[in-house]
């Protein structure tokens, strides 16, 4: 994956996209349309999440395998430790390799049900993501990514400890990290500075910022709630203003403000030397494509899914 970042033109910062395993046949048909739309835009990679509590194990593996075998995109499969024994995790990693997946984003995962609830280790599983990084590394020549948290992980006691744990995860064999989504670029820049100051070697590894172009108040509020963080007041204010005072939210205005915010953040990240821009897509191409167009990327003129 990191190599694929290097092959892109120095004048254009690569971008990548995140998909979720679809819930049903209609969702799957839409996902494949979206994949084809993005394929024409040449993302550096596409990642496929792993449902909370390991709930989408089979779908994540099947669809990521199909991406590897039947498309020209480079797939990254998310893999979470939650609810799995080490034997199950090894079998799953083997099945990833069997269908041509070479890139894995290694995560601990959140407890099923309430993501912010009590974490319980599987009796034969792992406690932290760094252990799973070592297991994946031992099983093959995988490129491994891990999660990083611009405002610190919600279970970390402080930012210094959070930084030390991220460095340990990278040292365990990860090649790069992808951040939790954020809405204040300063948080990303401070994470990067903290990591370099803590460990210059691990700090040199790419930290890929994750962006969510906001298309509705409800979607962003839910996503932010699940992350255990809050929207910065300035962003919230801008969205509320766009939503208006009427009984119905002005959805078009909220969406326009969301695209504008994502564009401004992406431009700042490019100016600050981010190695890649990773977009949460919710399996739609249009919002990400609008942000890329605003940034001057050449994107397809074909009609895009909402
Ligand atoms: C880019 C990205 C993609 C994600 N994709 C998914 C997904 O597909 N599916 C999903 O279910 N979840 C996903 N998540 C959420 C993620 O699983 C949760 O945020 C989870 O709570 C933390 O995972 P982690 O891999 O960072 O855990 P860890 O690195 O294990 O950290 C978890 C907590 O333990 C602490 N810790 C780490 N090591 C130690 C140690 N040795 N001693 C004491 N404490 C320690 C850390 O400080 C942290 O507070 C994603 C998150 C990100 C940022």
Instruction: Tell me the C-alpha distance between 304 and 236, whole Å.
Output: 28
Range of the domain at 36: 2-294
Q: pLDDT tens for the chain, 306 residues: list them.
A: 555 554 444 468 999 999 999 999 999 999 999 999 999 999 999 999 998 776 677 888 899 999 999 999 999 999 999 999 999 999 999 999 999 999 999 999 988 888 788 888 999 999 999 999 999 999 999 999 999 999 999 999 999 999 999 999 999 999 999 999 999 999 999 999 999 999 999 999 999 999 999 999 988 888 888 887 889 999 999 999 999 998 899 999 999 999 999 999 999 999 999 999 999 999 999 999 999 999 999 775 454 444
Task: Please check whether residue 78 lies inside any domain of the structure.
Answer: yes
Nearest atom (ligand 1) to Cα of 148: 53
Assigned domain for 304 exists: no
* pLDDT the model gives residue 93: 96
Q: How far apart are CA 222 and CA 215, in angstroms?
A: 12
Q: Which of 1, 105, 113, 147 has most ligand 1 atoms within 8 Å of its beta carbon, as the pocket-test mutant?
A: 147
Is residue 240 in some structural domain? yes
pLDDT at 306: 44
Please give the distance, rounded to the nearest whole angstrom, from the Cα atom of residue 154 to the centre of ligand 1: 9
18 noted as active-site residue: yes
Residue to mutate, 92, 109, 167, ligand 1, most ligand atoms under 8 Å from C-beta: 109
User: How many domains does the chain fold into?
Assistant: 1
In a domain, 299, yes or no: no
Strands 176-179 and 143-148: parallel
Neighbours of 214 (CB within 10 A): 26
Question: Which atom belonging to ligand 1 lies closest to the Cα atom of 156?
Answer: 49
Residue nearest to atom 13 of ligand 1 (CA): 109
**Would 135 be classed as within a structural domain?**
yes
pLDDT at 3: 55
User: Residue 180 Cα, ligand 1 centroid: separation in angstroms?
Assistant: 10
CA of 129 relative to ligand 1 center, distance in Å: 6
Q: Cβ-count burial of 7 within 10 angstroms (0-12 exposed, 13-18 middle, 19+ buried)?
A: exposed
Q: What residues does ligand 1 touch, defined as CB less than 6 Å away?
A: 49-50, 52, 78, 80, 107-110, 128-130, 147, 153, 155-156, 162, 165, 169, 178-180, 210
| Torsion angle of C-alpha atoms 286, 272, 106, 81, degrees rounded to 10 | -90
In a domain, 39, yes or no: yes
What is the structure's pLDDT at 52? Answer: 74
Distances (CA, A) of 26 to 32, 33, 50, 75: 10, 11, 19, 22
For residue 290, the CA-to-ligand 1 centroid distance in Å is 30
Q: Does residue 306 lie in a domain region?
A: no
Atom of ligand 1 nearest to the CA of 49: 8
> How far, in Å, from the CA of 289 to the mean position of ligand 1?
29
Q: Does 302 reside within a domain?
A: no
Residue 84 and residue 237: Cα distance in Å, rounded? 42
Domain harbouring 235, CATH code: 3.20.20.220
């Amino acid at each position: 994956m990191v190599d694929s970042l290097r092959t892109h033109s120095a004048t254009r910062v690569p971008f990548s996209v995140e998909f979720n395993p679809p819930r049903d046949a209609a969702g799957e048909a839409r996902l494949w349309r979206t994949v084809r739309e993005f394929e024409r835009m040449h993302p550096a990679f596409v990642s496929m999440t792993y449902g909370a509590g390991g709930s989408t194990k089979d779908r994540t593996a099947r669809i990521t395998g199909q991406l590897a075998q039947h498309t020209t995109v480079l797939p990254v499969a998310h893999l979470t430790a939650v609810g799995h024994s080490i034997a199950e995790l090894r079998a799953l990693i083997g099945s990833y390799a069997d269908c041509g997946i070479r890139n894995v984003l290694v995560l601990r995962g959140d407890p099923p049900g309430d993501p912010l609830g009590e974490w319980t280790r599987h009796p034969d599983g792992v406690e932290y993501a760094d252990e799973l990084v070592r297991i994946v590394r031992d099983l093959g020549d995988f490129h491994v990514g891990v999660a990083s948290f611009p405002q610190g992980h919600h279970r970390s006691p402080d930012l210094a400890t959070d930084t030390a744990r991220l460095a340990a995860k990278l040292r365990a064999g990860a090649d790069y990290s992808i951040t939790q989504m954020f809405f204040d670029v300063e948080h990303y820049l401070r994470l990067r500075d903290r990591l370099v100051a803590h460990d210059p070697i691990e700090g040199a590894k790419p930290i890929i910022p994750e962006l969510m172009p906001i298309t509705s108040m409800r979607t962003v509020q839910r996503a932010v709630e699940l992350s255990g963080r809050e929207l910065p007041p300035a962003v919230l204010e801008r969205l509320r203003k766009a939503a208006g005072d009427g009984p119905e939210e002005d959805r078009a205005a909220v969406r326009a403000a969301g695209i504008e915010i994502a564009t401004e953040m992406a431009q700042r990240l490019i100016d600050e030397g981010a190695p890649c821009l990773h977009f949460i897509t919710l399996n739609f191409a249009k919002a990400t494509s609008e942000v890329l167009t605003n940034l001057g990327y050449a994107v397809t003129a074909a009609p895009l899914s909402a």
